[in-house]
Amino acid sequence: MNDRNLGPYQEDRVYQGDATRLIRDLPDSAIDLLVTDPPFAIDFRAQRLNYNRTGSNVLEGYQEIAGDEYESFTREWMSEAYRVLSPSGSMYVFSGWNHLKDILGGLDGVGFTTQNHLIWKYQFGVFTKKKYVTSHYHVLFVVKDPKRYTFNKVEHYPEDVWDIKREYWKGRKKTPTKLPSEIVRKILRFSSNPGDIVLDPFLGSGTVAVTAKEMGRHFIGFEVVEDYLSFANERLSGTVWNSYTGNG
């Protein structure tokens, strides 16, 4: 029996559409934790050439945001994220360095308090000529109320640099970007409890929802690309390989 008010949505479901619109229908304070890897303002099609992948396995349609719209796009979804988070809620936002200033400005601007600026270090075998290979993401851990938020004692001295490998789905259907389950598991262990509800408004292949489900958390997710949403639903129903359980 679900006594949580999610407006027109149901827990443990993912929805197709523009997150900046769909999130408006979520009631205030409905969400315990928001974990998201929003689209980046880079030309992802060019980037994709750098990936060691068979193009035909990559689902088409990845939605990018134009660089000059990124600041307003960021501000739009973040102010809604602030509204829908419970007073003791927290949020993790992944960002490349390119438009980090928009992400940081948005977080401050809508009222979040930054608790940590985490660095996710990953391996990336791309050739560069006159600069360094980018092998990290920024992960902003922010809260509404620094005096009251969930932070479980999972490790004694949790550090802010996380060395976690990307997962490659060789020969399997996939979306062009995907968070490793391990990093999402770590976030959920520290910043949520069983039964909490976790939102990812930019779901992609559904890693946040799939991991939440596996860990006994409730989830809700939005994704604009229909094929990605179907793929996320396949993962949720266990009909495709799932990295956490190692099936298939």
Ligand X SMILES: C[S@@+](CC[C@H](N)C(=O)[O-])C[C@H]1O[C@@H](n2cnc3c(N)ncnc32)[C@H](O)[C@@H]1O
Interface positions with ligand X (CB under 6 A)? 18-20, 37, 39, 62-63, 175, 177-179, 202, 204-205, 207, 222-225, 228
Minimum distance from CB of 1 to ligand X (Å)? Answer: 30
End-to-end distance of the chain based on CA atoms, in angstroms? 32
Closer by beta carbon to ligand X, 69 or else 160: 69
Minimum distance from CB of 209 to ligand X (Å)? Answer: 9
Minimum distance from CB of 222 to ligand X (Å)? Answer: 5
Closer by beta carbon to ligand X, 12 or else 227: 227
Closer by beta carbon to ligand X, 52 or else 156: 52
Angle of CA points 214, 218, 220, to nearest 5°: 110
Closer by beta carbon to ligand X, 23 or else 197: 23
Token pair 């029996």 is found at 1
Phi, psi dihedrals of residue 23, rounded to the nearest 5°: -65, -25
63-68: Cβ within 8 A, 24+ apart: 63/39, 63/224, 63/225, 64/39, 64/40, 65/39, 65/40, 65/41, 66/41, 67/41, 67/42, 67/99
Closer by beta carbon to ligand X, 113 or else 214: 214
Strands 161-163 and 218-223: unpaired
Q: How far is CA 128 from CA 50, 119, 136, in A?
A: 10, 21, 15
Closer by beta carbon to ligand X, 53 or else 178: 178
Phi, psi dihedrals of residue 238, rounded to the nearest 5°: 80, 15
Token pair 């409905």 is found at 30
Helix (H, G, I), strand (E, B) or coil at 143: strand
Minimum distance from CB of 239 to ligand X (Å)? Answer: 17
Minimum distance from CB of 210 to ligand X (Å)? Answer: 9
Minimum distance from CB of 146 to ligand X (Å)? Answer: 26
Give me the residues paired with residue 247 across strands.
Answer: 242
Closer by beta carbon to ligand X, 3 or else 68: 68
Minimum distance from CB of 13 to ligand X (Å)? Answer: 15
Amino acid at 53: R
- E strand or H helix at 162: strand 161-163
Q: Which residue is nearest to ligand X (CB)?
A: 204
